[in-house]
A and B are shown apart, each in its own frame.
Chain A
Amino acid sequence: MKFTSLLASTAMALGLATSAMAQDDKVKVGFIYVGPIGDGGYTYEHNQGRLAVMEEFGDKAETTYVESVPEGPDAERVMTQMALDGADLIFATSFGFMDATVNTAKKFPDVKFEHATGYKTAPNLAIYNARFYEGRAVLGHIAGNMTESNIIGYIGSYPIPEVLRGINSAYIHAKKVNPDVQFKIVWAYTWFDPAKEADAAKVLIEQGADVILQHTDSTAPLAAAEAAGNVIGFGQASDMAEYKDGPRVSSIIDNWGPYYIERVGKVLDGTWETADTWAGIGDGMVQIGEITDRVPEDVKAEALALMDTIASGAYHPFTGPLNKQDGTQWLAEGEVAEDQALLGMDFFVEGIDAEIPK
């Protein structure tokens, strides 16, 4: 008994010490990741953001991270532990951490939380997201031009608005340049499982797809495309440059560093407030990776031009006339989708021959 009480008091003393330290110009930032930092994709980029914070603030910011946290209740345990260890700001970097983040934020009103890609806020819980669909428009444009079989394979993770926006945006822009294009979609029901992603890519290739788009985080689909030979793919979330000589013709890159630096800075100077950030190509949060020489010059130029019009705000990837899959009208001629409608997207646009799993 004596030993445990000794431990408890030491822990308390340490806890007090760290929170006291936090007040003299030092900030402790925690990150929880859904995959391993070496996934070469989504989690890798979040970790790059963390490293950028360390570089920017040096001794003033101390960061910790926990990788491969399962989405669900376990995330709450991890974040609670981080908060108990004296974290001032916690970034929860996956959609599935949403409810766990909300619960933990309630328990620790003095700790600040930031949740990526979610939609629930609180006075100490901000949300941030990137307009990945803007990047998907550019990839869709390239994919539509590059396919010879007119079949594009798409590996989806979960049928949530985030992923549906990506599929719709890519389809609309592929269809624009290639009216015969067809999308085949496989749901992997995971963000990161190289074996499943590889299987899905192989199946899509066997069914005639010569372009693979993925919304899962590993490089396994690119490895499958490389093994198949004349199939191309795109880097997802990260540049995946190691496949540049092979199937990867471009990529969609999440650039979190500037945002993380801004928010950590606000905690340091005491101006942090809850917020709802949704930034795109124009803000630099979404980037398009180098388009390789496998893409013809004119296609590359068009893709870059498309990127610029999206960045400047002159063009919105969801501009009418657009119909929903069942043929009913969604956007009239010239009408632009509102953010609220995009955030809750639960349908495919007209032309996609697949069903959203319930």
Chain B
Amino acid sequence: MDLSAINPALLIASLMVAATPILLAAIGELVAERSGVLNLGVEGMMITGAVCGFVIAVESGSPWLGFAGAAAGGAALALLFALLTQVALANQVASGLALTLFGLGLSALIGQGYVGIKPPRFARLDIPVLGDLPVVGRLLFGHDPMLYLAIALVAGVWALLRFSRAGLILRAVGENHDAAHALGYKVVRIRILAILFGGACAGLGGAYISLVRVPQWTEGMTAGVGWIALALVVFASWKPWRVLLGAWLFGGITVLQLNLQAAGVAIPVEYLAMSPYVVTILVLVILSADKSRAPAALGRIFHASQ
């Protein structure tokens, strides 16, 4: 056992990378849920985003176009969900599950010719002076642009929900859609926009896996990350900064357990492998002991006639 082999700065830097897909998907889902829509299709939208992003990046040679395509792909799948639940008034739980299964199948179909191909490289930011600082340089200034975008999204969503009129309306729709409707807000339109935002974010999260973290395309490569993002939103009590905390915690322990293994710590691998789940849930459950609760209209169907 040699714990000194673990470099804390590198550990934190790589936990931020490991957490980014979860963070992106979770912040999108948070917005959807705050508007009162429970979309269980996060995994399906992520994997669709992963394959769309990969295919477009490979064909165009530009990772940026790939990410744009991933957001579009995720949003397109989310639009299907929006049509089902907001226009056809289908059950949200069933539609969401169907969306995940559909997304997994569709992505496998689209990605058939793309297994084993190398995508174009998505370079890390190279900031001249700041990036060369010891420890801090690698930690704060040595990442790829998408990682900063994810954190900026969290901050943006937080500010929007807390300080803006749009955020207030979104929350009103999620708490009591009948009252919001009575006040003249377009409940269905607002929800569709929130669902699309959620889909685009999930798509970006998926593409982050296929273009940056791995980078490669394989069937089912999101491997349940969408479900973790979904759970994270609940355990984070629908609060953006807690989603960030939860994602970093989860990513951190995932990376740490591999580090401990490589350093030869004599803890059975099975315990190490389940530790990210246990610790993340534990911490967030303790945090959510305060008064926070789910949006009151979460998962309920709205129709203007009622």
Contact = CB atoms under 8 A, between A and B. Distances in A.
Interface of A: 36, 38-40, 44, 68, 153, 184-187, 189, 192-195, 198-200, 202-204, 206-208, 218-220, 223, 227, 242, 353-355, 357-358
A9 B173 CA distance: 59
Given A195-B209, A203-B14, 8 more contacts: A36-B115, A39-B115, A187-B269, A189-B269, A198-B214, A199-B254, A206-B7, A220-B216
B263 interface: yes
Contacts of A220: 214, 216
Contacts of B261: 185-187, 203
Interface stretch (B55-63, B74-82, B218-226): B218-226
B274 to A, nearest CB: 12
Contacts of A223: 118, 214-216
Nearest to A38: B115
Contacts of A206: 6-7, 10-11, 14, 259
A353 B5 CA distance: 14
29 contacts: A36-B115, A36-B218, A36-B219, A39-B115, A44-B116, A153-B262, A184-B5, A184-B263, A192-B218, A193-B223, A194-B214, A195-B209, A198-B213, A199-B255, A200-B258, A203-B14, A203-B259, A206-B6, A206-B7, A206-B10, A206-B14, A207-B263, A218-B218, A219-B216, A220-B214, A223-B214, A223-B215, A355-B266, A357-B270
B273 interface: yes
A207 B259 contact: yes
A203 B115 CA distance: 24
Interface in B249-290: 254-255, 258-259, 261-264, 266, 268-270, 273
A208 B6 CA distance: 9
Nearest to A202: B14
B255 A203 contact: yes
B18 interface: yes
Q: Which among A39, A184, A195 has the highest number of chain B CB atoms within 10 Å?
A: A195
Contacts of B264: 184, 353-355
A186 B262 contact: yes
Contacts of B116: 38-40, 44, 219
A315 to B, nearest CB: 31
Contact of A203 (B209, B213, B216, B258): B258
B137 to A, nearest CB: 16
Interface string B5-30: 11100110010001000000000000
Nearest to B269: A357
A357 B269 CA distance: 7
A164 to B, nearest CB: 15
Interface of B: 5-7, 10-11, 14, 18, 115-116, 118, 121, 209, 213-216, 218-219, 221, 223, 254-255, 258-259, 261-264, 266, 268-270, 273
B221 A194 contact: yes
Nearest 9 Cβ contacts at the A-B interface: A38-B115, A40-B116, A203-B258, A38-B116, A206-B10, A357-B269, A207-B5, A184-B262, A194-B214
A356 to B, nearest CB: 10
Given A194-B214, A206-B7, A220-B214, A186 B258 contact: yes
Contacts of B269: 187, 189, 357
Nearest to A187: B269
A256 B48 CA distance: 35
Contacts of B214: 194-195, 198, 220, 223
Contacts of A354: 264
A44 B116 CA distance: 10
A199 B118 CA distance: 17
A189 B261 CA distance: 12
Nearest to A203: B258
A196 to B, nearest CB: 8
A194 B255 CA distance: 15
Nearest to B209: A195
A75 B216 CA distance: 26
B111 to A, nearest CB: 10
B225 to A, nearest CB: 9
A189 B273 contact: yes
Contacts of B209: 195
A208 B2 CA distance: 12
B76 to A, nearest CB: 24
A124 to B, nearest CB: 33
B5 A208 contact: yes
Contact of B221 (A186, A195, A200): A195
Contacts of B215: 223
Contacts of A203: 14, 255, 258-259, 261-262
Contacts of A194: 214, 216, 218, 221
Contacts of B266: 355
A219 to B, nearest CB: 7
Contacts of B254: 199
A238 to B, nearest CB: 10
A260 B35 CA distance: 59
A195 B262 contact: no
A289 B199 CA distance: 44
Contacts of B223: 193, 195
Contacts of B259: 203, 206-207
Contacts of A219: 116, 216
Contact of B216 (A189, A218, A355): A218
Question: Could you say which of B7, B18, B259, B261 has the most chain A C-beta atoms within 10 Å of its C-beta?
Answer: B261
A223 B116 CA distance: 11
B258 A199 contact: yes
B237 to A, nearest CB: 28
A269 B115 CA distance: 38
B262 A207 contact: yes
A199 B11 contact: no
A217 to B, nearest CB: 11
Contacts of A198: 213-214, 216
A195 B213 CA distance: 7
Nearest to B18: A199
Contacts of A68: 219
